[in-house]
Amino acid sequence: MDEDLDTMVREQLIAEARRLRAGIRTHRDGTGHALCWRQPALWSLLPEKTDPLPTVPTWPEFLRGCLRYRQSLDEQLPDAPRSDAPYRP
């Protein structure tokens, strides 16, 4: 799957590492409502060009998962700033 790395010279590997790190940082630095979205921009950093169709939970299950995710943020980041900014697509 990662055979392309075997043919890269040092400079190409460094450039690839920087590109991947930039993508990870963009994802890491997401905040607010951006925390809840699919991340095709992050996945597009992989050499294989696929965007698999996810299995989408029913609304009740999806909302339970959203609530649990938000609760986990309270547990993991109790001192993080809070915002009541409305969602704007």
Q: What is the pLDDT of residue 65?
A: 94
The reply to whether 89 falls in a domain is: no
Residue 65 lies in a domain: yes
Token code pair at residue 23: 């993508």
CA–CA gap between residue 27 and residue 17 (Å, rounded): 15
* Type of residue numbered 54: P
pLDDT at 39: 87
Identify the domain containing residue 23 by its residue range: 3-76
Question: Does a structural domain hold residue 83?
Answer: no
* Segment 61-88, tens digit of pLDDT: 999 999 999 999 999 999 999 999 998 8
* Total number of domains in the chain: 1
Predicted pLDDT of residue 35: 84
| 50 has a pLDDT exceeding 90 | no
Q: What angle do CA 66, 21, 36 make, to 5 degrees?
A: 10
- Does residue 81 lie in a domain region? no
CA gap 69, 40 in Å, rounded? 20
Task: Say how far apart CA 63 and CA 14 lie, in whole Å.
Answer: 41
Is 86 part of any domain? no
